[in-house]
Chains A and B, each alone.
Chain A
Amino acid sequence: MEKEEALVKKIKGKFNFLEGECKVARIRRIWIEITKDKIMEFIKYMKNDLGFNFLCTITGLDCIEYYQVIYHFANDDGIIINLKLNVPKDNPKIESIIGIFEGSIFYERELKDMLGIEVIGLPQGRRYPLPDDWPIDQHPLRKEWKPSGSPAVKEA
């Protein structure tokens, strides 16, 4: 796991506050927890200096006490960095990374539709993946949301 350890060492060297927040889970898998104020700088560093130029996807989760957004980046060696960001439920706002990764558009729209996380900087456009006439305040992936609240099931 030399490559992974070397990467983590480099990251901790540049971002001391990440000491304790970086973990090599297994070969080709690194997990990092970061905060909102540092994330954009870190993502740019990861892409430009560490060669993580592929965004696999962005996962949104409802962890009951807070929301969590995980960015999954890959480099040419097949190593994935999973970047975790906790988002408070009373202020669910994050910044779009579309300026750094153009392919993030669908993943960020999904965060908005499915969890209700506001992504600042996302360009105007049709919602994804829910239908246009889906009520704007119903977010299916929230833990408290039940399918019985769905328009489809109501009519069926």
Chain B
Amino acid sequence: MAKIVIPVGPQHPALKEPANFTLLLEGERVAASNVALGYNHRGVEKACEERTYIQDMYLLERICGICSHSHVTCFIQAVEEIAGLEVPKRAQYIRTLIAELERIHSHFLWLGVAGHELGFDTLFMYSWRDREVVMDILAMLTGNRVNYGMNTIGGVRRDFTKEQFEQISRAVDILEERTKYYIQIALTETTLLARLKDVGKLSKEDAIRFGATGPTARAAGVNKDVRRDDPYAAYSELEFNVITDDNADVFGRTIVRVKELMESYKIIRQIIKQIPDGPITVKAPRKIPAGEAISRYEAPRGEDVHFVKANGTDKPDRVKVRAPTLANLAAITHMINGGYLADVPIVIAAIDPCFSCTDRMLVTDVKTGDEKLFDWQGLRNYSINWYKERNIDFSKIKL
């Protein structure tokens, strides 16, 4: 069988990010794959050393345009630990509220992106329309749809009123109804099941072996969630379930994410009910005493880790950021290998990747030496047409 080498540079449609995957094909199946990254490297860690802690908060928010609150909160938790600050309860609750709202917007975004990758654009339009409900809430609470600027060292910068909580409550009710609908579709729509089941398999042992995290690991039955295992913010006082699934494939990752949405609504309702009164910040020193701390956070994509070393000045000595996608990428080649080329887009999308940059695919036929230029859109179209030929077609489905 002819072996074809395909370097795939995913142009994730929503995120338009590059990484460079090299695929070795045998017929229509991927025999081996390799991933190279780095296109979105901006030099953030070095920049952190040259800016003050407050400036770093605004910089770290912009590492990722989806989980911006995750990065800042994780960072600020480490700084507060080094400085020995005790953040007031009300501030912890507010941080948790924004964190869960962020998780909701991220999972809805993923649902749309997954739909788009499959050629199911109706799902994309529906889920992003629903996502606007959360975006409006976030804009109402913080002034921006992304990059909220809510945190400060020692607490949060804005407090919320009873009326705002009522608005959040109403929005959560609407979203819960919509989510129930998506869960029903995910579980019963046969075309969707045909595309998602047994695709991108990652067993529990392999998930642990490669260090996968977040919904990708939980879909394989790995019962890990930083919110429960290493509680931060207000999570130790809130009741929620850690959603796992045994399917260990893309279908499992879908189920975990939509069910996590339901848990987020539960958490938000508890927050609104039990948020204590009190101050929203404590006074923080400008110069953070020497020390080091490591902070973990359950971002929508998985475990986010920040390590901070302080040296007694107003600038950190070292800031290390390990975003969740990096942990999941080690497992990606394992998930693609042995599967069809047509499944590559959805498998990559299913880890909910957050890297960035566009690249191009070069297909080389080893036999003839012919080269052809592909791009992510091309691979996606190939994927959708491949399945259409097998009677799996989303264009006919009405939602």
Q: Is any CB of A less than 8 Å from a CB of B in the complex? A: yes
CB distance from A43 to the nearest CB of B (A): 14
Contact A102/B210 with A61-B318, A147-B46 known, Cβ cut-off 8 Å: yes
Q: Is the CB of A55 within 8 A of B211?
A: yes
State the CA gap A59–B37 with chains docked (Å): 18
Q: Name the interface residues of B19-46: CB closer than 8 Å to any CB of A.
A: 20, 34, 36-39, 41, 43, 45-46
Q: Is the CB of B294 within 8 A of A131?
A: no
Query: Which of B172-180, B246-254, B268-276, B319-327 makes up part of the contact surface?
Result: B319-327
From B231, B296, B329, A56 is in contact (CB under 8 Å) with: B296
From B81, B210, B230, B327, A78 is in contact (CB under 8 Å) with: B230
User: Number of A interface residues, CB 8 Å?
Assistant: 38
Does any Cβ of B come within 8 Å of A80's Cβ?
yes
State the CA gap A53–B329 with chains docked (Å): 17
Chain B residues within 8 Å of A114, by CB: 45
Does any Cβ of B come within 8 Å of A119's Cβ?
no
Secondary structure class of chain A's binding surface, majority of residues:
mixed
State the CA gap A59–B303 with chains docked (Å): 16
Q: Is the CB of A76 within 8 A of B38?
A: no
Q: Is the CB of B46 within 8 A of A140?
A: yes
Q: Is the CB of B46 within 8 A of A130?
A: no
CB distance from B66 to the nearest CB of A (A): 20
CB distance from A64 to the nearest CB of B (A): 10
Chain A residues within 8 Å of B309, by CB: 61
Q: Is the CB of B46 within 8 A of A78?
A: no
**Chain B residue nearest to A28 in the complex (CB):** B230
Q: Is the CB of A127 within 8 A of B38?
A: yes
CB distance from A104 to the nearest CB of B (A): 8
Q: Which positions in B face A, CB cutoff 8 Å?
A: 20, 34, 36-39, 41, 43, 45-46, 81, 208-211, 224, 226, 229-231, 293-294, 296, 303, 305, 307, 309, 317-318, 320, 322, 326-327, 329-331
Given contacts A57-B322, A78-B230, A140-B43, list 6 more A-B pairs with CB under 8 A. A54-B208, A72-B305, A82-B294, A103-B327, A105-B330, A126-B20
Q: Which positions in A face B, CB cutoff 8 Å?
A: 25-26, 28-29, 53-57, 59, 61, 70, 72, 74, 76-78, 80, 82, 101-103, 105-107, 114, 125-131, 140-141, 145, 147, 150
Can you list 6 A-B contacts with CB-CB less than 8 angstroms, sorted by A residue number?
Answer: A25-B293, A59-B320, A78-B229, A102-B209, A103-B331, A141-B45
